[in-house]
Structure 1
Amino acid sequence: MPYVIADDLPEEPAGLRFRRLLDRPEILQMPGAHLGLAALLAKKAGFSALYMSGAAMSATMGLPDLGMITVDDVAWHIRQVVRASALPVLVDGDTGYGEALNVMHMVRCFEEAGAAAVHLEDQLLPKKCGHLNDKKLAGADEMAAKVAAARKARRHLYIIARTDAVASEGMDAAVARARRYLDAGADAIFPEALTNREMFEEFARRMPGVKLLANMTEFGRTPFFTAAEFQAMGYAMVIWPVSHLRVAARGMEELYASIREHGGTHRMVDRMQTRAELYETIGYHAYEALDASLIRTVVPEAMPQR
């Protein structure tokens, strides 16, 4: 059941709730959910934290993941996901939307919107998906300054530093950068675009005692691993950043093709969430009950026959 206007929301700051989840022995699993409805469905499935991908938000707006969206765009998504689910949310902060002062502004905006955690990456603009080629990296000192700025600006926000250095500078450089970012104030490290089990294990072995985030994106450079496999390799968190968007986009594509071909949606009805199921997901009647003067809506049980 979603939270409704009259419900008591969690009083503990989201960042502290996120830290408590990381204190559990099992790996923290965070599926992508950048829309309120997606957040409700992920919560219903039993997840205790969510991830918001910049690529997913950009694609939803019809834009490529090249650092084109703004802090306000992301904060709008954060507010709806947090309002809908009240779950701790890790947010993709890209490169921080500028230099140190911009990073501080981003941290304050995201935390005020309800975010629990953010990750910053050491790419230069225009940034790319971490699994693409020809990424340009910022200097380690420049990235460390951003991490320090984020640490200074945060109240409870959990800060994860992402490094894309493995692909262009090698494992030694990536480890050195990660240690520099930890010294600057990062709470955890996200090594992006590792390409095999041995690389994941080596990075974890060389970062003892550090909370690590693994990215299990499809159609990238990382083979498929399960959450249990990542945990065995030494990782505390795993995200599936754009999986929900990929499935939804393919579903919409097939729907539009079916309407165009058959002149209606009748071939796709068995693929749809029913009105009753949707209303249950979004708590329609719970909201309706807040105003006793409203008449309870009667949901049609079946489509009329022609």
Structure 2
Amino acid sequence: MKPRQRLRAGLNNPQQLIRVVGAHNALGAKLIERNGFDAVWASGFEISTAHAKPDANILSMTELLYCAEQMVEATVLPIIADCDTGFGNINNVVRMIKEYEKAGVAAVCIEDKVFPKMNSFIPGRQELAPVEEFCGKISAAKDAQTDEDFMVIARIEALIANQGMEEALYRAEMYREVGADMILIHSKLQEPVEIIEFCNKWKHDTPIVIVPTTYPNLSLHQMKELQIKVVIYANQALRASVKAVNHMLETLRISDSLSSISSQIAQMDELFDLQGMKEYVALEKEYKDRHRPKVIR
């Protein structure tokens, strides 16, 4: 089964909660696959941070697309790409859909804020796009795709922008009507009260996606009871990496030898395995042996 079909099948399975983990490169995607998760989130935040740039539409679509393409190549898992606001207007969205679909991405997510966006957890400017404008983007995105298994997620930022639950539900209904395959409802509260309220009031079959960055206590059991279909752990892997690398560097800086950090680092064999070095060497040997001269001169 192809990655897009696998993601679609997961959504159609009433027993499955799809668990997605954020990555910013091919190595991250490969580690997510090896640890048994269902899909990879090509995170705009992670990719921006990896470039040491703010998560505020500083990077171009081409830069984000390149990272997503590397993830597609590295793993059999579906890649769900964070595409911010669609990189501009409707025409930008149409181009984005064509490029991401061609790259093998399983789904894209666009949010209903104005371009350029600001990360949802930064106080201040969190301006929403007009409903009709964003409906146009969703509609144009669905019309532009060619593979019926490719999906478009509409991310609602009404709660982030302090516009209230009524506005969030209204926008969700409008986006569902114009063809959004999933609805991502976002909240910045420290407890999942808004998420619980939204899910309890949502009366449609369109799957709900959440990103529990600020409300980590919401359990998988609770998510299933709320009929949530997809949970995205959007940035935890990057944050763990930064903490681990900082700890190792702090230890190394005051140490007399590399032996002080031996327990903190992966073995070289593990990295060779992640690279696919064994397969590389085997293929090289196969073709060398295949064309070895039969006659010794």
TM-score under structure 2 normalisation? 0.89
| 1:206 alignment partner in structure 2 | 201
Q: Map 1:1-306; keep pairs closer than 5 Å.
A: 12=2, 14-24=3-13, 25-134=15-124, 135-156=126-147, 157-167=150-160, 168-193=162-187, 195=189, 196-208=191-203, 209-217=205-213, 220=214, 222-262=215-255, 264-292=257-285
Quickly say closer, same or farther: Cα 1:37–1:294, change in 2 above 3 A: farther
Using the alignment, how far apart are the partners of 2:258 and 2:48 within structure 1? 28
Which consecutive unaligned segments of at least 5 residues does structure 1 have?
1-9, 296-306
For 2:265 and 2:208, the matched residues in 1 are separated by 38
Q: Separation in 2 of the partners of 1:150 and 1:253?
A: 41
**Structure 1 residues 251, 294: closer, same or farther in 2, change over 3 A?**
farther
SS in structure 2 at match of 1:30: strand
Deviation, structure 1 residue 263: 5.3
Q: Which moved more, 1:23-32 or 1:256-265?
A: 256-265
Q: Number of residue pairs matched?
A: 281
1:85 CA displacement? 0.7
Conservation of the 8 A alpha-carbon contact between 2:10 and 2:16? no
Q: Secondary structure at the match of 1:58?
A: helix
Q: 1:220-260 CA deviation, whole Å, 9 max, x = no partner?
A: 3x343233322222210000111110011112222332333
Alpha-carbon contact 2:108-2:152 (below 8 Å) kept: yes
3-state secondary structure, aligned to 2:210: strand
C-alpha contact (below 8 Å) 1:214/1:230 kept by paired residues: no
Q: Provide the rounded CA distance (Å) in 2 between the counterparts of 1:53 and 1:234.
A: 24
Percent identical residues: 27
Q: Residues 159 and 188 of structure 1 are in contact (CA less than 8 Å); yes or no, is this contact kept in structure 2?
A: yes
Amino acid corresponding to residue 172 of structure 2 in structure 1: A
Amino acid at match of 2:270: E
Hey, what's the Cα distance between the residues in 2 that align with 1:83 and 1:27?
Answer: 25
Indicate if the aligned counterparts of 1:159 and 1:187 stay in contact, CA closer than 8 A. yes
Contact persistence 1:40–1:282 (CA under 8 A): no
Question: Is the alpha carbon distance of 1:278 and 1:173 closer, same or farther for their aligned partners in structure 2, counting shifts above 3 Å?
Answer: same
Work out whether residues 187 and 194 of structure 2, in 8 Å CA contact, stay in contact via their aligned partners in 1.
Answer: no
| Counterparts of 2:155 and 2:28, CA distance in 1 | 25
Q: 1:252/1:161 Cα in 2 relative to 1: closer, same or farther (>3 Å)?
A: same
Amino acid at match of 1:22: L
Give the TM-score normalised by the residue count of structure 1.
Answer: 0.86
Residue 98 and residue 263 in structure 1: after superposition, are their counterparts in 2 closer, same or farther (change >3 A)?
Answer: farther
**What per-residue deviation string (whole Å, max 9, x for no partner) do you get for residues 271-293 of structure 1?**
11101122223321012111116
Give, in whole Å, the separation in 2 of the partners of 1:30 and 1:166. Answer: 22
Return structure 1 stretches of 4+ with deviation > 6 angstroms.
Answer: none
Give deviations 1:3-62, integer Å, cap 9, x for gaps: xxxxxxx6x4x4333211212222000011221111111111111211111000000001
What is the DSSP-based 3-state SS (H/G/I as helix, E as strand, rest coil) of the residue aligned with 1:166? coil
Are the equivalent residues in 2 in contact too, given 1:119–1:160 (CA < 8 A)?
A: yes
8 Å CA contact retained: 2:81, 2:105: yes
Q: Please, what is the CA RMSD of the aligned residues?
A: 1.9
Instruction: For 1:155 and 1:17, locate their aligned partners in 2 and report how far apart those are by CA, in whole Å.
Output: 18
What SS does the corresponding residue of 1:228 show, helix, strand or coil? Answer: helix
On the 8 A contact 1:27/1:228 being kept in 2, the answer is no
Q: Deviations over 1:82-106 (max 9, x none)?
A: 1111211111010000000001111
Structure number with higher relative contact order (C-alpha < 8 Å, ≥ 6 residues apart): 1
Distance 1:203 1:80 in 2: 35
Structure 2, gaps ≥5 residues long? 289-297
Equivalent residue letter for 2:70: Q
1:119-141 per-position Cα deviation (integer Å, ceiling 9, x unaligned): 11011133122233331111111
